[in-house]
Amino acid sequence: MSLRAALHLRRFFSTDAAHAPLKLRNMPYRLRHAAVPAARAAVSDYLHSTRCLPSSHADFIVAHSPRSLLSFLAALPAVPGSLPTAELPALLRRHLSFHPLNELPFFLESIGAPAAAGPRSDLMFLADHPSLLGAVAALAHFGFPWSRLGLLFPAVILGVPPELISARLAALEARLHRLPRAAIIAACLTFTSLLERDLSDCEPLVKDLSTTFRGLGPDLGTSNDIDAFSGVCRRMRMFYDAGADIGSIGELAGGSWRMFLELGEKRIAERLWFFKELGMTGKELESFLLSNPRLFYHDFSDVVISVPEYLRRVGLVEDEVDAAVKKHPYVVGKNQLENLPRVLRAMKLERQFLEKISVGGENLRYLSPYFALEDDSYDAEVERAFLDGMDKVKADKKAQHVDSKLEFLKSIGYGENEITTKVIPALHSTKDFLQERFDYLLERGAEYKMLCRILTVFPKVLNQGKDMLNEKLNYLTEELGYSIEYLDCFPAFLCFDLENRVKPRYTMLQWLRDHGLLRKQLAPATVLANSEKRFITTLYLVHPAAPKLWLECFSSRMHMECYLKNISCQNSDNK
């Protein structure tokens, strides 16, 4: 089964059956062991005899829809305890005679599609969808495995007429002559556009597929293993998703065909991410990696480097490295080679490093595990401070997920140093949640090195969920009119309570501005960082009566809502 099909099935069953397995409480215990085989036979006979589906289709649907069969049985009226086992099939057939079956869930489960992928829920019968059965027949006749048709649903099965599916498969087979059907099936399951569009519109992709499949020679060229061809297609798609031009992989791969067969998809994804983080564009990425396939065979995860010593050995300008380390001391210390791109981004040195290695040749040795292992130089004082700090962190009984937090900080560019040990206790979440929030702030436009620097001062920023971060960033940019870059000057903005501090204070200032009492713009650092007493003093300087209004109407979310509600009622009465 292809990876995508497995994901479809896993998602479908994990959301329904895995969490709440159905129990046949409506059926005597002694009949339960015979209920599923009897239901399978009854439903198959119903689909073939009553609904006029081909017997092969009916058998495939029932054989690959265990969850739907259990749902069908669980929905039956209570079965009498005295019912003989031999009469159970007759009872099921009689029930189906008076209660038409909702066929769509059975079909979707059988092809590996999630139930949510179905069309209108008011259509129960497969025959209600004019092209569905014809499309399925055309695909099955060509040799598509039934359980993988979910990869083509609904775009192809419901969106392309059956005769057009057959015509496009025939054209593709003629264009990829001498290749087995398994190759064509795998290509269509991975790149559904081959069936959604005419062959002329997919020529660059077909060219890539033809060149790549033929380049694999006897290892794959004559195979009928759909899984093997699907693996090659998925690896090609990873390059396309990274930005490679469709139609260029075949020409650039050269002697690197075997990577499409031997390398795990995880390793390919890691290398694509590694160089994309360094700033390589899609076209550069494709050309560089396919021209230097040996980079895929290095394992970066277990290789330890030490910053800044490693960067000096690579040959980066020493003054630039020293200046970056002085400005961003949290990167100092040991880290894994796989985290190097984000270490460099945290220092804003990724461009300089990329210029070093992009020339290829001898410079690729900088990414070799052997190059890193040759250098055992590191700052012993930095390491000692780190180890002492980690001992203190782990000695705290309240400490949780310490290793997970350390792994997260190293993955974003922090090294094993004292600063890292001071950040860890302030983080209150797991690696996955911390990474999700960090990436979200990047998506919103925060500069990478700025965000790393913020975490050294206000690590609690990442203790908030994405929704809260979104609300605060929206208020900063939309209501107050500041850009995300303002966080570099005042990162504490993300730490203040939005409802009980930020909004009340700014609503008060807006009221003073609307009534002509405040003319100058006060920066968030002035408005929010001051204590309540200092803020009241600021209000008094604007107008002696302002503090009283603040305390009565704006000082908390409750006061502010009551005040705004009264103003709204007064405006309504005036109208």
Tens-place pLDDT, residues 77-100: 998 888 898 999 999 999 999 999
pLDDT-derived band of residue 13, with 50, 70 and 90 as boundaries? very low
User: How many CB atoms sit inside 10 A of residue 171's CB?
Assistant: 15
Taking only the tens place, the pLDDT of each residue in 97-107 is 999 999 999 99
Supply 523's token pair: 């920066």
pLDDT given at position 93: 94
CA-CA distance, 22 to 165, in Å (whole number)? 38
What's 492-525 look like in SS3? HHHHCCHHHHHHHHHHHHHHHHHCCCCCCCCCHH
Does the pLDDT value for residue 118 go beyond 70?
A: no
Residues 50 and 106 in one domain: yes
For residues 282 and 275, is the Cβ–Cβ distance under 8 A?
no
Residue with tokens 């009119």: 481
Residue 480 has pLDDT above 50, yes or no: yes
pLDDT higher than threshold 70 for residue 352: yes
The closest of 170, 186, 237 to 208, measured between CA atoms, is: 237
User: Which of 315, 311, 309 minimizes the C-alpha distance to 341?
Assistant: 311
Q: How many CA atoms lie within 13 A of 467 on its CB side?
A: 0
Task: Please say whether the beta carbons of 335 and 304 come within 8 A.
Answer: yes
Q: How many domains does the chain have?
A: 4
In angstroms, rounded to a whole number, what is the distance separating the alpha carbons of residues 462 and 473? Answer: 13
Q: Are residues 345 and 236 in the same domain?
A: no
Nearest to residue 376, comparing CAs of 471, 287, 305? 305
CA–CA dist 548, 212 (Å, integer): 77
Question: If you average pLDDT over residues 236-260, what whole number do you get?
Answer: 82
User: What is the domain range of residue 241?
Assistant: 147-275
What six digits make up the tokens of 371? 């190059």
119-135: burial string, b at 16+ Cβ within 10 Å, e else: eeeeeeebeebebbbbb
Q: What is the pLDDT of residues 500-515, one digit of tens each?
A: 999 999 999 999 998 8
pLDDT of 5 strictly over 80:
no
The answer, yes or no, to whether residue 17 has pLDDT greater than 80, is no
Q: Is the pLDDT of residue 194 over 80?
A: yes
The model's pLDDT over 355-375, given as tens digits with 9 standing for 90+, comes to 999 888 889 999 988 887 665
Q: Which of 93, 128, 163 is the last residue of a domain?
A: 128
Is residue 220 pLDDT above 60, yes or no? yes
Question: Using CA atoms, how far apart are residues 404 and 406, in angstroms rounded to an integer?
Answer: 5
Q: pTM of the entire structure?
A: 0.81
Angle at 326 between CA 323 and CA 331, to 5 degrees: 110
| Averaged confidence pLDDT in the chain | 87
Q: State the CB neighbour count (10 A cutoff) for residue 296.
A: 18
pLDDT of 82 reads 87
Q: Is 304 helix (H, G, I), strand (E, B) or coil?
A: strand
Residue that finishes a domain, picked among 365, 394, 423: 394
pLDDT in tens, 397-440: 788 889 999 999 999 999 999 999 999 999 998 999 999 999 99
pLDDT at 569 over 60: no
Residue 41 confidence (pLDDT) above 80: yes
Within a domain: residue 362?
A: yes
Q: Is the pLDDT of residue 30 over 60?
A: yes
Confidence of residue 8 (pLDDT cuts 50, 70, 90): very low
One domain, residues 154 and 110? no
**Per the omega criterion (within 30 degrees of 0), is the bond before 54 cis?**
no
Residue 12 has pLDDT above 50, yes or no: no
Residue 244 lies in a domain: yes
**How far, in Å, CA of 306 to CA of 335, rounded?**
6
* Cα distances (Å, whole numbers) of residue 335 to 362, 394, 424: 24, 20, 16
Same domain, 99 and 170: no
pLDDT bin (cut points 50, 70, 90) of residue 519 is: confident
Q: Which residue has the higher pLDDT, 344 or 562?
A: 344
Cα–Cα distance, 70 to 83 (Å, whole number): 19
Helix (H, G, I), strand (E, B) or coil at 333: strand
Domain identity same for 43 and 98: yes
Q: What's the average model confidence in pLDDT over 208-233?
A: 82
Residue 100 inside a domain? The answer is yes
SS3 for 334? Answer: strand
Both tokens assigned to 223: 């195979």
Task: Kindly tell me if the per-residue pLDDT of 305 is higher than 60.
Answer: yes
Please indicate, yes or no, whether residues 153 and 114 belong to a single structural domain of this protein.
no
- Read off the pLDDT of each residue in 58-78 and give the average, rounded to a whole number: 93
pLDDT at 211 over 60: yes
| Res 326 pLDDT > 60 | yes
Last residue of a domain, one of 394, 420, 438: 394
Q: What is the mean pLDDT of residues 472-480?
A: 95
d(CA 149, CA 133): 12
CB 417 within 8 A of CB 332: yes
- Tell me what pLDDT residue 571 has: 53
CA distance 82 to 80: 5
Amino acid, single-letter form, for residue 206: V
Place of tokens 């099936």: 185
Task: Specify if 470 maps to a domain.
Answer: no
**pLDDT value, residue 18:** 41
Q: Does 21 score more than 60 pLDDT?
A: no
Res. 472: pLDDT tops 50:
yes
The answer to whether residues 256 and 190 belong to one domain is yes
> 308 and 249, same structural domain?
no
Asked if residue 431 belongs to a domain, the reply is no
Mean pLDDT over 367-384 rounds to 80
pLDDT of residue 563: 52
Asked whether residue 488 is domain-assigned, the answer is: no
Least confidently predicted of 10-14, 386-390, 513-517: 10-14
Question: Residue 460 has which token pair?
Answer: 């609690």
Name the pLDDT band for 11 (thresholds 50, 70, 90): very low
Q: How confident is the model at residue 379 (pLDDT cuts 50, 70, 90)?
A: confident
pLDDT at residue 418 in the model: 96
At a CB cut-off of 8 Å and minimum separation 6, what does 90 contact? none
Residue 390 has pLDDT above 90, yes or no: yes
Q: Are residues 269 and 340 in the same domain?
A: no
234 and 312 fall within a common domain:
no
Distances (CA, A) of 564 to 508, 552, 570: 11, 12, 10
Q: Which of 95, 40, 35, 94 is nearest to 65 (CA)?
A: 40
At 335, give phi and psi (nearest 5°).
-160, 170
Pull the structure tokens for residue 201: 């519109």
What is 409-447 written as a DSSP string?
HHHTT--SSHHHHHHGGG--S-HHHHHHHHHHHHHTT--
Q: Could you tell me the two tokens for 229?
A: 């061809």
State whether 83 and 53 are in the same domain: yes
- Which of 115-119, 170-174, 359-363, 385-389 shows the lowest mean pLDDT across its residues? 115-119
d(CA 354, CA 345): 11
Place of tokens 């059988």: 110
Q: What is the pLDDT of residue 111?
A: 93
Does 64 reside within a domain?
A: yes
For residues 115 and 183, membership in a common domain is answered with no
Nearest partner of 490 among 452, 455, 525, judged by Cα: 525
Q: In the chain, what percentage of residues exceed pLDDT 70?
A: 89
Contact by Cβ (8 Å): 532, 575 = no
Residue 528 lies in a domain: yes
